[in-house]
């Protein structure tokens, strides 16, 4: 009798757990779909294809090299795998209550407007954005919008995200560059001591020296991308980003992007070594 009751209890427990996991899976899917995350990942290949326009090179050989490099960068980018990786992180680390609050925001009028702007931002001309940011001054926008964008940069921790990306990606990039140099016959000197700590120290120095300048570039970027948004919409967005749900959503997004980004960078550097080796063979022949 006791065994039968225990078995029944376990079955009920497993059923409840499976139901809860299914509900959370649906919730995460809804958040990723309703936000700009899903479409940003799906549009990544077309954005990467625009890299040569941002870094034009002279000479047919150099231009071909750039195209080969872009191909190498895109080779291992699998949109389905990236989305699955991000969803897995949201499933493990996500708080259901805060994700439900995030979904409510995304489904609100202001939330839909912000998401639409973020989606349209994927289609912006990167050259025009680059020129705008380079020539930006605070006097170009109203004092109200300037304050809004500065707060948006601060609460979304865009600056810190950039530095964390550098801290995470640089060791993999430096290792890849050493492999590329070795392939081309120009081996780099070996690093002594704790290489990752050296990178962290360098990033901290850059954080102190270039943090304010990077913050202004972020403000410029936001003022360009959100130039058609009204002040009430931007204020509502800041309110969401400042909330517990908004901060949780930002943290989940940043952590999942950093993880798949690191895996991608490591794969990219391996592909670049192969490209450089192929180019070296072409030059030698």
pLDDT in tens, 151-172: 999 898 877 777 777 776 667 6
- Which backbone phi and psi does 149 adopt, to 5 degrees? -70, -35
To 5 degrees, how large is the angle CA 89–CA 219–CA 202?
65
**Cα distances (Å, whole numbers) of residue 55 to 22, 63, 118:** 45, 10, 24
Q: What is the pLDDT of residue 8?
A: 46
Q: CA 93, CA 74: separation in Å to the nearest integer?
A: 28
Token readout for 118 is 């973020």
To 5 degrees, how large is the angle CA 228–CA 229–CA 230?
120
Q: Where are the domains of the chain?
A: 21-284
Per 3-state DSSP, the chain is made up of helix, strand and coil in percentages (nearest 5) of 85, 0, 15
Q: CA 163, CA 268: separation in Å to the nearest integer?
A: 20
Token readout for 53 is 């326009």
**Cα distances (Å, whole numbers) of residue 103 to 40, 53, 58, 136, 138:** 17, 36, 48, 34, 34
Q: What is the pLDDT of residue 255?
A: 87
Q: Could you list the pLDDT tens digit for every one of the 285 residues in the chain?
A: 545 544 444 454 444 444 445 689 999 999 999 998 888 887 776 666 665 555 555 556 566 666 666 666 666 677 788 888 899 999 999 999 999 999 999 999 999 999 999 888 877 787 888 899 889 999 999 999 999 999 999 898 877 777 777 776 667 666 666 666 665 555 555 554 566 676 677 767 777 777 778 888 889 999 999 998 999 999 999 999 999 999 999 999 988 888 777 777 777 777 666 666 565 544 444
Q: CA 56, CA 11: separation in Å to the nearest integer?
A: 63
Q: CA 83, CA 89: separation in Å to the nearest integer?
A: 10
Cβ 203 vs Cβ 170: under 8 Å: yes
User: CA 133, 134, 140, 144: dihedral to nearest 10 degrees?
Assistant: 40
């Amino acid at each position: 009798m006791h065994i039968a009751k225990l078995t029944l209890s376990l079955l009920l427990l497993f059923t409840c757990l499976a139901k809860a996991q299914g509900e959370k899976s649906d919730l995460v899917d809804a958040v990723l779909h309703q936000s700009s995350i899903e479409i940003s990942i799906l549009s990544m290949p077309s954005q990467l294809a625009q890299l040569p326009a941002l870094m034009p090179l002279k000479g047919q050989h150099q231009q071909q090299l750039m195209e080969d490099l872009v191909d190498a960068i895109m080779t291992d980018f699998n949109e389905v795998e990236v989305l699955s990786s991000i969803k897995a992180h949201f499933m493990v680390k996500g708080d259901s209550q805060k994700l439900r609050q995030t979904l409510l925001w995304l489904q609100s009028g202001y939330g839909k407007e912000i998401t639409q702007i973020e989606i349209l931002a994927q289609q912006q001309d990167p050259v025009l954005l680059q020129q705008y940011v380079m020539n930006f001054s605070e006097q170009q926008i109203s004092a109200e919008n300037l304050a809004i964008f500065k707060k948006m940069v601060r609460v979304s921790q865009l600056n810190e995200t950039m530095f964390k990306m550098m801290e995470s990606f640089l060791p993999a990039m430096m290792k890849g560059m050493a492999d590329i140099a070795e392939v081309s016959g120009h081996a780099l000197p070996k690093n002594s001591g704790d290489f990752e700590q050296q990178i962290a120290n360098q990033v901290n120095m850059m954080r102190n020296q270039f943090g304010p300048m990077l913050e202004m570039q972020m403000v410029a970027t936001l003022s360009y991308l959100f130039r058609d948004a009204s002040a009430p919409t931007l204020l509502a967005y800041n309110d969401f980003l400042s909330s517990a749900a908004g901060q949780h959503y930002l943290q989940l997004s940043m952590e999942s992007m950093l993880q798949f980004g690191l895996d991608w960078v490591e794969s990219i550097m391996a592909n670049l070594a192969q490209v450089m080796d192929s180019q070296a063979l072409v030059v030698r022949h």
